[in-house]
Chain A
Amino acid sequence: MSIGGSDLDRAITQLRACRPIPENQVRELCYKARELLIEEGNVVGVDAPVTICGDIHGQFHDLMELFRVGGDVPDTNYLFMGDFVDRGFYSLESFLLLLCLKVRYPDRITLIRGNHESRQITTVYGFYDECLRKYGSANVWRYCCEVFDYLALGALVTGAATSLTPTDGPIAENINIDIPDVDCDIEIETLNAQGEIMYRYARNSDSQSSAASQANSNPASSSPIAPPTPSLAGVTGTGATSSANGSTRNDTGAILCVHGGLSPLIDTIDKIRLLDRKQEVPHEGAMCDLLWSDPDEIDGWGLSPRGAGFLFGADIVKCFNHKNDLSLIARAHQLVMEGFKEMFESTIVTVWSAPNYCYRCGNVAAILELGEDGSNGGFVRRSNGDRGGGGGGWVLGSNAGPNGTGENRRLSSVLGDSMQRTRDGPGRRYRVFEAAPQDSRGMPAKKPVADYFL
């Protein structure tokens, strides 16, 4: 059976209802997906606007909630940073739906590999057993694993705007911080699932500091938003870092998206491009590190308690971003209770998209929207053009990590002042959402049962 055209749409409809498709269709789908993915480089180029998502882990109903909050495919462009499978009840349906969407709308959705997209990990963490149970054989698991081997290792987002076009959403209740005026350059906006503004952070405006400080900002996080100086502007090469909305000359560096993080074996993005990725995730080496590593409050590199990959500090990130002309690294891999967490003066962000992870953790999830800077010639805004796009702006996490001013000082002494002149980051809109309501799951007999020590 072929899975082109209308068959594909039928499969999408079926999977959206959380019903698995027949084994022969899976085989066909995986074959098509491999044909498509083999053409992609190790680092896929992606144009803004795009919505960046973290771990899904088989939480199908929460993936539907994600699409409800972030907009449907193909109206919204998506970049999923891996860990589609394992842990949740519906790894199969979640991954196959994403794969169908990829085959159906290849330019609208990007999938990169997470450490769970691996034969070894899926046999421990559930996806293998789920396939066996749902199909009675390991064939589907095998087809999926073959696709995993072809997934890209990273993505490079270009053309992102440095500030956000303000949403016209209402301000959420119980928010007691100053919301900067919409005329400011909006660097960060956090919206809840209803599209209400929970937090807004403006660059270079009087209101920003009060908003920032009241949102428990810290000195290191606020340092990049010091009033622009000629040298800062010079480094960014635009002279427009403080420009108002709608500038077409904003020039944010690119955003590297990778599931885990950096590798001591990789100092340039070109080195990622040279890896031979079409294999099972190795136990060590650059490919393993990209999928397993974590940022941490350390200097340099450290051993990872996960037993694979490394820990890397702010100095590593800033060096790497500078060298590769990046303004931000977006990664997933680590559960963060607030859904996202910016670290190291907003040079790296963790995005986590599995709410109430494993039906046990009680966390919220987030997705990160990057708008387009309008300089992509001939680029036509899509029907959901109200999302993102537009202006220029900067940075700061509402829940930035506990990095202090010391880091800043250390860096300038170690790396010299020029290293601090990082590129303006993209304007970032985080949409935070909770787990899909229980009744939407329609599975009273299969109530999620989380394990505790009883």
Chain B
Amino acid sequence: MADSQIPHLKALLGGRRGGLSRGRGRGRGRGGFGASHGEHEAIVDDAVRGTDQDAAGSRVSCVELGYLDDPYAKLFATRPSTRRLPLLNRGSYVRTSAIDLLIDRFLTTSPSSPKQIISLGAGTDTRYFRLRDKYPNTHILYHEIDFPMNTAAKLISIHQHAQLHTKLTESTFNIVPTQTSYYAPSYNLHSFDLRALATSTAETPPPHLPNLDRSIPTLILSEMCLVYLPVTTVSAIMSTFLNHYLSPSTPASLILYEPILPQDAFGRTMISNLATRNIHLPTLHAYPELGDQRARLRQYGLTDGSRAADNHFIWKEWVSEGEKERVAGLEMLDELEELDLLLRHYCVAWGWRDGGANGVFSTAWRDVGEQDGG
């Protein structure tokens, strides 16, 4: 007979085997800062591959249950999907739709002018393909940066599915099996460790990013990516993007999706739970509240606007009543108090520089409400 060694559903939901994820939990890729300790590298890479696939599975769960409309999610998932708990589906929904809203406003402001998006630690994210469908006539120059293991896997998925690679090129999509980067006029997959941007000097300049445009309005997206790096490293990375890759006068913005409130009971438990998996979130301690997130954006030079709202607020204020009703009707959700706690501990923060007033970001996000206080 089975004994108590058999793991519980929740353990499987997490999709983690063993405790060697070393800084990478489930979720979207967490940026191209790869393993650095030789002997662990293979194991870490394996764990990361697993977590990345698990992220894809989370997205599929949301899509299959009707939370999100994303025909591409299942194309990046190589494992059969596991139904996630309603609370997690709801959280994923809020996160994705919040970022979608900010990006939609950006792309629909002066729709005829070209726009650039740089997604850090994009993992199996499908956003480029969804945007292509939604804005077929908008000139979008899209970049994803992740470490080679993730970008290679992504290229293989793209290669396998015509639905994906026909979005990238009219001609034949050719890659070699070991390929980790891909460059095209609208979609670019860069494979390198983001930390390289923090350690660059005059002698060792940061990696060349093909097709990056120095001067068109640029939105940088970090969904649970920069949070894993030390505060000073993140500042240096941002400076490299905002002053080296982009001309200092280029309108630019950063959207962060990160946990907050590390000091209350839920936050402390989160930190200790993640620590047992060797996951540490340095910037969480540095920017514990919404106000700290806003101040941080200004420190990066994004001084024309800096806003933040937690996901609880976003669900309440950004999601229309009709849509709330639709989403609430998808699954019976019994974990209301827990959902509240969870949503209050994640935030979206967004800041920009564009000369203010009639700048592209100032215009795009003028009416996007943020949360008071914090």
Contact = CB atoms under 8 A, between A and B. Distances in A.
Contacts of A306: 332-334, 336
A361 B270 CA distance: 8
Contacts of A124: 83, 85-86, 331-332
A358 B269 CA distance: 11
Interface string A369-397: 00000000000000000000000000000
Contacts of B19: 447
A324 interface: no
A453 B14 contact: no
Given A93-B4, A124-B86, A308-B332, A451 B268 contact: no
The prevalent SS among residues of A at the interface is: loop
Contact of A20 (B2, B27, B334, B337): B2
Contact of B269 (A87, A360, A449): A360
Contacts of B249: none
Contacts of A336: 337
Interface band, chain A? 35 or more
B8 A360 contact: no
Contacts of A356: 269
- Which of A90, A126, A307 has the most chain B CB atoms closer than 10 A to its own CB? A307
Nearest to B51: A454
Interface string A96-117: 0000000000000000000110
B273 A359 contact: yes
Contacts of A129: 8-9
Interface in B1-40: 1-11, 13-14, 16, 19, 24-27, 30
B338 interface: yes
Interface in B265-290: 265-270, 273-274, 276-277, 279
B346 A453 contact: yes
A126 B270 contact: no
B265 A361 contact: yes
A167 B14 CA distance: 45
B177 interface: no
B143 interface: no
A454 B26 contact: yes
Contact of B25 (A22, A90, A130, A452): A452
B28 to A, nearest CB: 8
Interface string B233-276: 00000000000000000000000000100001111111001101
Given A22-B1, A453-B95, A454-B25, A362 B337 contact: no
Contact of B92 (A22, A88, A90, A453): A453
Interface string A173-186: 00000000000000
Contacts of A360: 266, 269-270, 273, 338
Interface of B: 1-11, 13-14, 16, 19, 24-27, 30, 51, 83, 85-86, 88, 91-92, 95, 224, 259, 264-270, 273-274, 276-277, 279, 328-329, 331-334, 336-338, 341-342, 346
Interface of A: 18-20, 22-23, 87-90, 93, 115-116, 121, 124-126, 129-130, 133-136, 305-308, 334-337, 356-363, 443, 445-454
